[in-house]
Amino acid sequence: MQVPITDSLRIRVTLAFIVLRHKPKELSLDAYVFDLRERFPLLETPEAQQLETRELWRDRALKLEVKVKELTRELEQKCNEFEIARCYTQSTSGTCSGTSQNGPPKKKRKSVVGAPTRVVTSSICEEMLQGVSRVGVDLRCTELMGSLHLFGSYHKLASNSSKQSPTDLYKVIESANSVLRSVSKALFLIIEPTDDATTKDPPGIVKDLTSILYSVLKFLVSHIPTSSKKMRRLAREREMECLSVFFSIITFDIAIPIVKSFHWITKDNHLSLLLQAAQNSKSQPSKDATSICFALLQLLKSVLQFSGSQKNHSLSHKWAELVETIKMASVAEIDNLWNASGADYAETDNSGSIENTEETRALSREERILRLVRKDTLWYLCSIVHETLSLDLTHRTNPQDSSVNGFVQNKLEQSLSSLLTRYSITSDNESESGARKLNDMGTVEKGMIAAVVEQLWIRSRELSIDSSGRKSEGGTAIS
């Protein structure tokens, strides 16, 4: 026989929980329940109808019911933490939960090396997943499901690392791809958060994702043969396709979205501060844009530094393509900071005087903030370009690739040089006439772009010298 769940029954069950937890020591259980019934009648008595205490008690009981759920959730969480700690203690000490400290020592059974660790790790994984379900957390939450998929994929990747053979190369790359997809989904929640999926500590999450991403890269490289001949012998068509997917996820789902996110994250934070100041609000912004952008910058730098430190000849071309793509995307974003809006700029005549347009007025507060946003974004993008130029990738490219890279370096240098030349003229005229415009380039911005142009020029010269040196060596060998 099933009892229908009504508001009255729910209130009585809630009351029972509250009574058991908050009963004073000097009162008996019957006296305490009687006192509650007198103060908060549940039945439809004349007193309750007159004072409407039943509705007041119902609201109070529902609030107490929420409190009971919170206490139950805390209790379940503490129990799960205790179980995880107990499993970890057993794995380190080698004791069993059924043994007694005062009893005689039992003879230990021989076990295969590595077997207990896998069992304990699996039990910890199950305890964490069961703990999340028991607490009553909504598993339909996008952020929580992404974290669970990320943990499950990373756990599967780590559990397979103990025993691998060259024939398992496809499984290794496929599991690494699943982790990268989960990392990209978790980053998407931070870069483009939604109303139903908010994060409490975005910089901390990015740092955790950075460590996971570094571990995955290190794990994958350890299973890839260093020799190109051995790689061609072991890696068939599906393995090479998986590797292409791996680098495609890093490039287009992780690196480039991070490069494109610096501008709007900084802009959203500064404009929210402006809106709060206009509304005389004292509340803090929902997230610290500086901490988030800096954490994303460190993630991108860790990927670049890892690619620069690799000596694996079978993947050298892939790493070089990754670095060049990030560099080109960063330079394109620098160019978009001034050219993407498509705004009309004040034209200059031969004498250098600016036309008397509406944009010769003083900048508003919002426009000054937009210029500050552009300056902050430019710093992050220039830092990425400097990091890519500091890597020595000349020994990983073929002579034909060196000439192509030199051509790319020249194009990037010309793009930034034209940007620097175009808007520096407007800025110089501004200093003479006192006119200000939103798209003018400041002294700090000109200095940052000029430093990048200088490094690009030096890099292109190095590539041209290296390419000519290789050609001369090849000609000498042929002769």
Report residue 265 as tokens: 């994250």
Q: What is the pLDDT of residue 256?
A: 93
Q: What is the pLDDT of residue 117?
A: 37
For the chain, give every domain's residue range. 7-92, 141-321+330-342
Q: Residues 9, 11, 14, CA angle at the centre, nearest 5°?
A: 110
Tell me the backbone φ, ψ of residue 94, rounded to 5 degrees.
80, 10
- 248: Cα within 13 Å, side-chain hemisphere: 8
- Would you tell me how many other CB atoms lie within 10 Å of the CB of residue 344? 9
Tell me the backbone φ, ψ of residue 354, rounded to 5 degrees.
-90, 145
Report residue 315 as tokens: 């993947």
Residue by residue, DSSP assigns 10-45 as: HHHHHHHHHHHHH--TTS-HHHHHHHHHHHS--S--
Q: Residues 354, 358, 361, CA angle at the centre, nearest 5°?
A: 80
Q: How far apart are the first and last CA of the chain?
A: 98
Q: What is the pLDDT of residue 474?
A: 54
DSSP state for residue 438 in the 8-state scheme: T
Q: What is the pLDDT of residue 462?
A: 76
Q: Measuring CA to CA, which residue among 396, 191, 225 is closest to residue 296? A: 191
Q: What is the pLDDT of residue 267?
A: 84
Q: What is the pLDDT of residue 447?
A: 87
Q: What is the pLDDT of residue 28?
A: 74
C-alpha–C-alpha distance, residues 259 and 343, integer Å: 23
Tell me the backbone φ, ψ of residue 265, rounded to 5 degrees.
-65, -45
Walking along the chain (479 residues) 10 residues at a time, the average pLDDT comes out as 58 64 71 68 54 57 68 72 64 46 48 38 41 37 54 61 57 81 83 58 79 83 70 68 88 92 84 69 58 89 86 76 89 84 39 42 74 89 90 57 61 78 59 54 85 83 67 49
**Amino acid of residue 131:** G
Burial (CB < 10 A; 0-12, 13-18, 19+), residue 402, is buried
